[in-house]
Amino acid sequence: MNTPLLLATAVVCGLSAHANAATFAYISSPGDGLISQYSLNESNGALNLVSQVAAGDQVNPMALSPDGKTLYAALRVKPFQFQAFNIDPTTGRLSAKAKAPLAESMAYLATDRTGRYLLAASYGADTLSVQPVDKAEPILTYKTGLHAHSLRTDPSNRFAYAGNLGTDQVLQYRFDADTGALSPIGSGYVSVPANTGPRHLAFSADGKFLYVVGEMSGTVTAFAIDHSSGALTRIGVANGIPERLNLAPGQVRDARNNDLKDDPTPRIWAADLRLSPDGKLLLMSERTSSSVSAFAVNTGTGELRFLDNYPVEEKQPRNIAFSPNGKWLLVTGEKSQQVGTYAVNAGGALNRVGEAASGKGALWIEVLSTSAH
């Protein structure tokens, strides 16, 4: 084969690979029990609704398998269970695969880094759970303090951490990838200041740092992860709530106070936390002000610096998610009829560029790039 033909073949292969690449977003909406599938154009941020599947009443947190072939969704009505969906590698469409029990009503879902185990946190039952995804083995459960709100393994899959909102603790465990078992590291937790409300987690790609959003404080706490033991050391905290938002400190929300429904005071109510693919930008959603706060990340030291806070059109934004190329941010609003796409610049500023119809009470977002599979 001569050189021009070799070059032509390479160009065609490159174009073919580019043409076959696609980015899909999956968004659950507990109000109507749907999971909506969207296509995201990573060149211009355009978002299009592709299909919707009925997942079940109060479908809420979701998790993608590491290989991108399966989507798991937790149903928060009795009998508590998760629905697994196969993902078509070409179209991204979902097809029901299997259902299996969950230990409790789960507010958070994730897989370990191998995809063998499903990890979950129950806010109402103060419980963490670990279970294999493809075997009917007993579910491992671990009682926590008040209101467990997340559970994830670190990039090495040797350690696991959980946000424990009601106790102002971040729980730390060793994770046994052979059995799924969790065992406490040291005392089993590190504390953060009172009324922080540790909620969601984000890891640096190199596994050196953990970031935890405080639901009631609107702060993000940075921790260094000891490479050998997995023990956490707090290295800094950054406040994401500027004074101009006029928000009072948040409070724990549950049945004991009717979820603050009779409280007219605008209070801090932070929700999600996402790290950009290049690791240099951290974004946090705040529901009361319908806004997103941006932080610069020092990738060498793990330290954070607050940049600014930006309003979003989606009312009461729960989850946010970066596109794989880091140029776009997807935002859901629990009280919005649209999902929005925002261009993200290097300084964290957001500019809304697209939208698509959402399901009722849209909240959890998982993003899949088929180019990687």
pLDDT in tens, 86-127: 999 999 999 999 999 999 999 999 999 999 999 999 999 999
Got the DSSP string for 269-285? -EEEEEE-TTSSEEEEE
Report the pLDDT value the prediction gives residue 20, as an integer from 0 to 100. Answer: 63
Q: How far apart are CA 186 and CA 233, in angstroms?
A: 12
pLDDT for 2 beyond 70? no
CATH class of the domain comprising 21-372:
mainly beta
Domain regions of the chain by residue span: 21-372
Q: d(Cα 249, Cα 269) in Å, to the nearest integer?
A: 9
Given the structure tokens 């030291």, which residue do they identify?
301
pLDDT digits (tens, 9 = 90+) for 322-371: 999 999 999 999 999 999 999 999 899 999 999 999 999 999 999 999 86
Kindly report which listed range (115-129, 176-190, 255-269) carries the lowest average pLDDT score.
255-269
Structure tokens at 368: 């899949």
Q: 109, 62 in Cβ contact below 8 A?
A: yes
8 Å CB contact between 249 and 195: yes
CA dist 37 and 368 (Å) reads 10
Strands 317-322 and 304-311: unpaired
Q: Which band of pLDDT confidence, cut at 50, 70 and 90, is reported for residue 7?
A: very low
Q: What is the mean pLDDT of residues 178-194?
A: 98
With b meaning 16 or more CB within 10 Å and e meaning fewer, what string describes 268-279? bbbbbbbbbeeb
- Residue (of 58, 55, 47, 43) closest to 25 by Cα position: 47
